Amino acid sequence: MSPPAAPAAVQAYSAPRRQMWFWGIGTIADALMIQTFALIMPIFNTGFGLDAVLLSWAIMVPRLVDGLIDPFMGHLSDNIQTRWGRRKPFLFVTCILGAIVVAGIWWANPEWPKSWQFAYVVVFATLYYTTWGTFSMSHYALGYELTDDYHERARVMAIRTVFLQFVVLAVSWTYWLALRPVFGGEINGIRWIGGAMGVLIIVTGLVPVFACKERFARSNRKHPPILQSMKEAFRLPAFRTYIALRFFAAFGLVVFSQLIFYVNVYHVCAGDKSLATKIVGIGTMLTVGISVAILPFVPRLSRWMGKRNAVIAGCAIALAQACIVPLLYNPANPYLQLVAAALTAPLVAVAIVLRDAIVPDICDLDELENGLRREGLFTAVVSFVYKLEVSLCVVLVGYMLQYSAFDPKVTVQAPEVLTRLQWSAFLPNILFAGLALVCAIRFPVTEAVMRDVRAKLDARRASAKEATNAPVSAPAA
């Protein structure tokens, strides 16, 4: 008698490729909301004349409020039961609200007292962050459900990054475009541009709502309360290390990205905003071009190196770039900073894509440990930590500008002011890039670990399905 055949390996679930691209289109709405918000500091500071420290607090407080709300919204998204699914109702509502806020935030009056402008920014920033945070959480969670395959998850995030890069390219020219004479000033220019962005947010944000199918449209079982759920999430060593990696990778970069505007305009370009924003636009075009060319190879890189090793490589590139960049912002050759843009491209194409692709792996670890699918909660906690650090960075940048004695009313800043601005921009980027590399090296999840996790989850689901379909035995006579 021949031995029984071994059970066939369960093929990892993957949604059709077109579903991944439909989901990716929603990234345009997501990215437009948050990328446009990055213009608030320079435009309200140099355009409206609002004090940098006051403005930094106006931005930080709403971020903290939204960050505290995020885990509750993620928990609600994981648990809600509607005829339209768990994620789509949130996507639909916040897509429309986000468009309204993006268009409306620039309509403060420059003639208002500064206290009124401050209050206006606080109110709109609170609406802005809450809306974007909920949309982004729901969109990410929907994307994490598209595939169970360890490497295919890198493809999903690569598709997202393709759309993200085109938005980054468009937004990089926004300030330059707002300065065109046809608008009669940067404030009027950003108002027209904000209205166009609002329309685009609605159009692209609704695509995943109507074109994508939710795999887990209903929660598999009732989840424990929010605080218990968060405790269970942080019990996972991989999640704690991942949070530290994200924190360090972003902290120095956010400080750098906020201050480099001032270094570029007032140190490299001697106060010429038009030249500075033009170079930024060209640099972003270069970065996007290289990144989009590299992105199709990222899934192959994941299969060759593994996501963990690729993230380590990306963090190493980020550290090397942070050390080289101070040499490239030179007033003798303003266009030399384009080399920095070229160095950014591999970092974007490798580290960011694969770093995001790790989150669904952590969700699998959580399901194996606790029996629940909580993409919304994990996404929201990651978002909360990110917003907390960005809030701290924005306030820090405000005080750094104050410490440097920067004066937005003058075109030519004193040499000691420019020196302080440069040290404030470059040093945190180097320090925190190094800490991120340490965390990447310590990250414990490898392809072998996830192969074992997937096998156990597939076996558990198969057993549950068999139990559900088992015939009910007749009652005893």
- Per the listing, tokens 């559900």 go with 468
Helix (H), strand (E) at residue 280: helix 273-294
Question: For residue 11, what pLDDT is reported?
Answer: 64
Task: Give the integer Cα–Cα distance in Å for 297 and 179.
Answer: 38
- Strand-pairing partners, residue 147, are 14
Global pTM reads 0.68
Question: For residue 2, what pLDDT is reported?
Answer: 44
Task: Give the integer Cα–Cα distance in Å for 28 and 202.
Answer: 10
Interhelix angle 186-205/88-104, rounded to 10 degrees, is 170
Please list the ranges in the chain whose pLDDT falls under 70: 1-12, 216-223, 347-349, 464-477
CA distances from 362 to 17, 370, 393 (A): 23, 12, 27
Whether 107 and 47 have beta carbons less than 8 Å apart is answered as no
Question: For residue 241, what pLDDT is reported?
Answer: 92
Question: For residue 96, what pLDDT is reported?
Answer: 94
Question: For residue 438, what pLDDT is reported?
Answer: 94
Whether 397 and 76 have beta carbons less than 8 Å apart is answered as no
The domain covering 18-217+224-455 belongs, at the CATH homologous superfamily level, to MFS general substrate transporter like domains (1.20.1250.20)
Question: For residue 284, what pLDDT is reported?
Answer: 79
Whether 413 and 429 have beta carbons less than 8 Å apart is answered as no
What single-letter amino acid sits at 80?
I
Question: For residue 235, what pLDDT is reported?
Answer: 86
Longest dimension (CA), the chain: 98
Task: Give the integer Cα–Cα distance in Å for 180 and 186.
Answer: 8
What are the contacts of 118-123 at 24+ separation with CB within 8 A? 118/50, 118/54, 118/55, 118/58, 121/40, 121/44, 121/50, 121/55, 121/58, 121/59, 122/58, 122/61, 122/62
Per-residue DSSP letters for 213-279?
--TT-S-SSPPPPHHHHHHHHHT-HHHHHHHHHHHHHHHHHHHHHHHHHHIIIIIISTT-HHHHHHH
> Domain coordinates of the chain in residue numbers?
18-217+224-455
Q: Burial, 183: exposed, middle or buried (Cβ in 10 Å; 0-12, 13-18, 19+)?
A: middle
Task: Give the closest residue to 148 by CA, choosing from 463, 461, 469, 369.
Answer: 461
Question: For residue 6, what pLDDT is reported?
Answer: 39
